[in-house]
Amino acid sequence: MAKPIGKSKQELIQAAMQCLVDNGIANFTLKLVATYADVTQGTIYYHFKTKEQILLEIIKYICEDSWGKLFENDQFTISAALEIIKSRFKNDAFYHKLLISLIVLGFNNPLIKEQLGQVLMNENDSLLFGIKKLWRASPIDGVSLTTWSIFFNALIDGIAIQLITCEDFPIDTFYKELEKILITIQQLEE
* Buried-exposed string 38-57: b where 16+ CB fall within 10 A, e elsewhere: ebeeebbebbbeebbebbbb
pLDDT for the residue numbered 162 = 87
* H-type alpha helices, the chain: 9-23, 30-37, 41-47, 51-71, 78-87, 90-106, 110-134, 145-165, 171-189
Range of 72's domain? 51-189
What is the Cα–Cα distance from 13 to 55, expressed in whole angstroms?
9
Residues 57 and 43 in one domain: no
CA distance to 52, 119, 122, 132, 134, per residue, from 71 (Å):
29, 18, 14, 12, 13
Instruction: Count structural domains, the chain.
Output: 2
Residues 107 and 23 in one domain: no
Residues 4 and 97 in one domain: no
Residues 79 and 173 in one domain: yes
Residues 136 and 63 in one domain: yes
pLDDT for the residue numbered 76 = 75
Instruction: Indicate the Cα dihedral angle 121, 85, 26, 20, nearest 10°.
Output: -110
8-state DSSP, 169 = -
> pTM of the full predicted structure?
0.79
What is the Cα–Cα distance from 100 to 94, expressed in whole angstroms?
10
Residues 56 and 146 in one domain: yes
Residues 156 and 66 in one domain: yes
CATH number of the domain at 42, please: 1.10.10.60
* Buried-exposed string 87-114: b where 16+ CB fall within 10 A, e elsewhere: ebbeeebbbbbbbbbbeebbeeeeebee
Residues 83 and 97 in one domain: yes
Residues 147 and 129 in one domain: yes
- pLDDT tens, position by position, for the chain (190 residues)? 555 567 888 999 999 988 888 887 788 899 999 999 999 999 999 999 888 889 888 888 888 887 777 777 666 788 888 887 777 776 556 777 788 888 888 888 888 889 889 989 998 998 899 889 888 888 889 999 999 999 999 998 888 888 888 888 888 898 899 999 988 887 876 6
CATH number of the domain at 99, please: 1.10.357
pLDDT for the residue numbered 34 = 93
Residues 169 and 112 in one domain: yes
